Amino acid sequence: METTRRGFLSAATLSTAGLVAAATGIGSLIPDQADAATAASAKSGLNKTPEELDDFVFDIEHGSKGYASSGGTAKEATVEEFPISQSIAGVSMRLNPGGFRELHWHSIAAEWAFVLEGKVRTTVITPDGTTSTDDFEVGDIWYFPRGHGHMLQCIGDQPCHFLLGFDNGHFSEFGTFSVTDWLSHTSAEILARNTGLPARLFAALPKKELYIGTGEIAGESKPANINTAIPVSSSAHKFRMETDAVLQEFKGGYTKIVSSKEFPIQNSLTALRMNLEPGAMRELHWHPNADEWQYVMSGQGNVSIFGSHGRVKTMPYSKGMVAFIKQGYGHYIENTGKETLKLIVLFNSPVYQEFSLNHWLNANPTQLVADHFGMSLKEASALVNHQTGIY
């Protein structure tokens, strides 16, 4: 209740004189300090123009400098490149045959990924000491909790491409905790004591991070670990999103949801695959519990957001671009092209929630809705005939 009331007050803060007066009136009845402060700022903000809505679309493939070596490439969208995206960072990574993203971990973010092309093998260590090696194909996702050591490797003689998502916009793929970075900056004698290997092996290491290395091309069959006695983890880090997610079909497309219900280890995010057919739109809606981050797999569209104070902003996007919609902001998506608009979507909550405008209107009395918009009863009643979702 507290949150809802504050939400109303802050929404009214810089609005029209009528709303400000209403907020001030309510504020004076509330003894709470924070609410009183909000009401006071509402009063002083009478003549202020609300700030414009920030840009919320970014071209991840062309907008950032990124990394490239013979082993592969990485392009990222963190708060540096895409300031609005405070809660989620993304990376588009490609590995060539024989390429591997070295053993590393992330101190401030969990890692999520969706395979777009080719095949990828991962290894991950779990706090109970168990390990798992998994192979991923197009449409599969992985999730590694924050701090869990892992590795990514291209399998076979075709390159692979995957989209990485991190549950912290301040995370940068170029500042991870990589094994070569650590060992190449630690005394060779200490490492000899630590591993039982000769110090000369460590003394010869180049003083820098390998990041994406190259080696033998990995085959289809899984090789044995150095110590074959280490048990296999029972935590499932892999989910076959394209085939096993919860499918909802609509007239103009579909959604496939993977929340923590379907994929328990994915406990900081919910993932969604969405298709909008040419001419279709994803209806006006909002999410009460999460920011929304989108990556365009193919096609083109318009995303439009509503941020209160009469602020609506619409931006176009197309293949290889990302969009970010703040928690609680109203929005819709239109397919403006001739091919299917395919999206990969992340929410920074393990539980999926949405409010559909159509459903909300239908959940109110006919007369009341008619009075809002100056419609006749007959016109308002016709709302019941419309669909929700994508049409």
According to DSSP, the β-strands at 300-306 and 330-335 are antiparallel
Min separation Cβ 9 and Mn ion, Å: 25
| 168 vs 90: CA distance, rounded Å | 9
Question: What residue type is assigned to position 183 of the chain?
Answer: L
Q: Which is nearer to Mn ion, 167 or 292 (CB)?
A: 292
User: How far apart are the C-alpha atoms of 110 and 87, rounded to whole Å?
Assistant: 12
Question: Residue 132: which of 245, 265, 262, 267 has the closest Cα?
Answer: 265
Number of residues that bind Mn ion (CB under 5 A): 2
| Residue sitting closest to Mn ion (CB) | 111
Residue 156 to residue 159: CA distance in whole angstroms: 8
Output the smallest distance, CB 166 to Mn ion, in A: 8
Rounded-to-integer distance, Cα 92 and Cα 81, Å: 14
Whether the CB-CB separation of 115 and 160 falls below 8 Å is answered with yes
Site for Mn ion in 5-34 (CB under 5 A): none
* Strand-pair category, 89-95 with 111-117: unpaired
Q: Closest approach of Cβ 287 to Mn ion, in Å?
A: 6
| Distance of alpha carbon 221 from alpha carbon 62, whole angstroms | 36
Question: Is the separation of the CB atoms in 207 and 185 below 8 Å?
Answer: yes
Are the C-beta atoms of residues 105 and 149 closer than 8 Å to each other? yes
User: Under the criterion CB under 5 A, does residue 140 sit at the interface with Mn ion?
Assistant: no
C-alpha closest to that of 321 among 337, 291, 339, 344: 344
Cβ 373 to Mn ion, closest distance in Å?
A: 24
Bridge partner residues of 309 (DSSP) = none
Q: Which is nearer to Mn ion, 21 or 357 (CB)?
A: 357
| Closest separation in Å from C-beta 377 to Mn ion | 31
Positions marked catalytic: 101, 104, 106, 111, 150, 173
Q: Please spell the DSSP secondary structure of 227-252, one letter per residue.
A: STTSPBP-S--EE-HHHHSEEEEETT
Distance CA 313, CA 307 (A): 8
Q: Which is nearer to Mn ion, 289 or 300 (CB)?
A: 289
Query: Smaller CB distance to Mn ion: residue 35 or 167?
Result: 167
Cα separation, 99 vs 114, in Å, equals 18
Question: 113: which strand partners?
Answer: 142, 164
Site string for Mn ion, 144-173 (x = CB under 5 A): ------------------------------
Residue 199: exposure state from Cβ atoms within 10 A (0-12, 13-18, ≥19): middle
Cα 281 to chain centroid distance, Å, stands at 21
Of residues 181 and 292, the one with the C-beta less far from Mn ion: 292
Judged by CB under 5 A, the chain residues 93 through 122 that form the site for Mn ion are 111
| Residue 15 vs 233, nearer CB to Mn ion | 233
Query: At its nearest, how many Å lie between Mn ion and the CB of residue 57?
Result: 14
Interaction with Mn ion in 45-104: which residues (CB under 5 A)? Answer: none
- Measured from the CB of residue 300, what is the shortest distance to Mn ion in angstroms? 18
Nearer to Mn ion, 14 or 104 (CB): 104
| Binding to Mn ion, residues 274-313 (CB under 5 A) | 292
Which one, 298 or 304, has the nearer CB to Mn ion? Answer: 304
Residue 111 CB, nearest approach to Mn ion (Å): 5
Residues that bind Mn ion (CB under 5 A): 111, 292
